[in-house]
Every structure is written in structure tokens, then in C-alpha cells.
Structure 1
């Protein structure tokens, strides 16, 4: 490396929050703008954090996703063994200061592969009461909370990586689709019924 070229600082938990926000900006630009101001960063800094994250994730020398999260977020706040169906994994949880009642969760399989990575409600934190589609306010709830409140739901393919969709019908209502980014609700829409 050239002596006059500065060394890039390591990615930080703040940078990771900017990565989360960058993907959410497609659906909730106003909420992202408010969050960015609360964090005291510019649009250029948000884009740069995302660029560096993507470069790290797609580098030929890239570590596995679990190691990447540990290198950026530090040691997990909590690590618990979880059983999902017949499969066991480790659920690693990190705090996300922008959303104090949420945690970033990585589900890590035996051998180190990350099966899933998203925001979940923090252990012991109360989630919102969800009874109607009107209760589904952007950034208020997670995939799991909507799935439990409106069971049975139908998982649908997301429109991009880190995105999920759930089809559900609230009691006495019509079908809806809830869209999530990094596991956090972004919007709720009626399904497209065009032929």
C-alpha cells in the first residue's frame, strides 16, 4: 500500500446500521432520512458504509457471514441454542442502538454457515399489539411477530436479498401482503389482482 494512501478504518456497528438503512430506503425513505439525521451521518457516508460492506461480503478472501458479523459488531450480546423443526442452530444476537427493542439475529448452523440474518424483538421487550392490518405500522414489528399475529401466513419470495414477504388475511378482512427488509416491517399492501 502506498504510504500516502490512508488505511480504511474497520467497519463499525454504526456502519452496520447504515447498511440496514440503505436497503430500507427503497421503501421508507422518510424514516431512513430521520434515522440518518439521528445518527449524524450524511447520505454519502451511508452509501460508503454500504459499499464497504458489500465489498467485504463479496471479497474472495471474505470470511463466513458469522465471522463478518463478529468482526463488525463484536461479540454477540447473547448466544443461544435454537431448534427449528428438526434442525439445531446457534442464535447470535447483537444490539442495534437505532432500534433499542430489537436485536440483529444470525442463525448459525453447525459448521458455521448462516441460515438467516434479520432483526428480531429483543428478549423480554414487549412487541406491538397486532390485531388488524391497520396496526402494521412501518418499522413497528418483525416477520415473526406478524406471522404469529395473523397465522396462518404464507411466506413469499422477497424482491431482493434481505427482503421477505408474508401473505396473510386479518380476521374479518381481505388478503394483504406485508413486506420486510432485514426482518423489519416496511409496508403492507393489498395483493395485485390484475390478470
Structure 2
């Protein structure tokens, strides 16, 4: 049985950092099922357990008594490893960063605005950790890079509507001028797709 999922008499225990990784994996599995399965197995977790954790997470998020996103992450993940102040336009925001053991070189980042609300949540490279070398389309392998890293390597870029929570799409310029769309889940690269006109079905 996965540690942290059961309390006294077999009742579900509180969700914690380990369970939150399964929440990330459940969404990542929609687009990279083999990678997500390998990660889940490396944690010693069954598919049923992962689904149960995700069900409990969704119930927490959708509850009429649900706390704000920042409070929810603090209750599940504990105090952040670091809090970094960032200026976004005219707004001074806070980036709350937590370690993610599945990806030691990444951190889960929740961007909290002046009103206390979280307006962005995704995986980013850990401060000081070396990022990938991104020079060609072949370097854009699933789970190899974050949104910011791809944007810096293949500009100019343009954000495309994803229409799905925790899903990002970034139109990038590859060497030679070809335009493609980099697809991300929780800020982690899934792969490339064709750069179709906005609104056109894939």
C-alpha cells in the first residue's frame, strides 16, 4: 500500500507531497501514458491508487468549502522551499516553489498575485539546476523541458489557446523558420504538433 494514503482503520489519510505527484502524473498520463506509467511504477503505486488519489484531489478542489489554490497547496505540500518575489508588468507577485522528488531538477511553482489568488501553476526548472540544450526539433523530447526553456530557445513565440486546465500550447520558431506548436502539461513538454490556424481542429 502506498505510504500516506491510508489512516486509522484503513480510512484515507491526508493528501501530502507524495500524493500530489500522483495528481500531476494522472494529468500527464493523458498525453504521455508510457512515461507516466514508468514514473508511477517507480513510486511503487498501482493504477487504482493513483486514480483514487486523483478522485480525492478533485473532490477537494470542487468542494463548496474549498480553500483557495494557495491555501490548498500549502495544506498538501507544506511550507514552500522558497518564495521568490517577481514583477509581472505592474504587479508584484510571489512565486511559491516546492520540490518534486520525481523530477529532482524541477520545482512546482504557484504564482500568487497581490490579492492572494494563484493565477499560474506549473513545473519549472529548479534554481541553479542546468537546463537542457535545445537547438533543434529533435531536442524537444517529452518531459525534457519547461515552457520558459522552450520559449527562450525557439523565439519568437506566441501562446496558443489550450482550452484545457493545466495545459499550455506555445507556437515556436524552429531553425529554418518552420512554425510548430509545443504542447505542455503542468508546464512540462509533451511534444510538438503542427501550427494550424487558431481554432482549427487538429
Query: Fold conserved (TM > 0.5)?
Result: yes
Aligned 1:41-120 pairs, distance under 5 A = 41-120=45-124
TM-score by length of 2: 0.90
Question: What is the CA–CA distance in structure 1 between the aligned matches of 2:173 and 2:156, rounded to whole Å?
Answer: 8
Give 1:133-144 correspondences, 5 Å limit.
133-144=137-148
For residues 136 and 156 of structure 2, the distance between their equivalents in structure 1, rounded to whole angstroms, comes to 14
Q: Matched residues in 2 for 1:151 and 1:64: separation?
A: 34
Distance 2:24 2:106 in 1: 13
Distance in 2 between the 1:67 and 1:10 partners?
15
Partner of 2:195: 191
Are the equivalent residues in 2 in contact too, given 1:27–1:187 (CA < 8 A)?
Answer: no
Task: State the distance in 2 between where 1:157 and 1:21 align.
Answer: 22
The runs of at least 4 consecutive aligned structure 1 residues that moved more than 3 Å come to 4-7, 192-195
Query: Residue 3 of structure 2 corresponds to which residue in structure 1?
Result: none
Tell me the CA shift for residue 7 of structure 1: 4.0
Whole-angstrom CA distance in 2 between matches of 1:158 and 1:70 = 27
Number of positions where the alignment pairs a residue of Structure 1 with one of Structure 2: 192
Which of the numbers 118, 123, 128 marks the counterpart of 1:124?
Answer: 128
CA distance in 1 between counterparts of 2:60 and 2:9 reads 19
Q: Compute the TM-score of the two structures, normalised by the length of structure 1.
A: 0.94
CA RMSD of aligned residues (A): 1.7
Question: By how many angstroms is 1:26 displaced?
Answer: 1.2
1: CA distance between counterparts of 2:36 and 2:24? 10
Counterpart Cα distance in 2 of 1:145 and 1:9: 37
5+ residue gaps, structure 2, are 1-7
Following superposition, the deviation at residue 6 of structure 1 comes to 5.5
Question: In structure 2, what is the Cα distance between the partners aligned to 1:153 and 1:103?
Answer: 23
Instruction: Please say if 1:10 is aligned against 2:14.
Output: yes
How far the C-alpha of 1:172 sits from its partner, in A, is: 0.7
State how far apart, in whole Å, the 2-side matches of 1:9 and 1:191 are: 45
Instruction: State yes or no: 1:176 paired with 2:180.
Output: yes
Shift of 1:147: 0.7
Q: Does 1:153 align with 2:152?
A: no
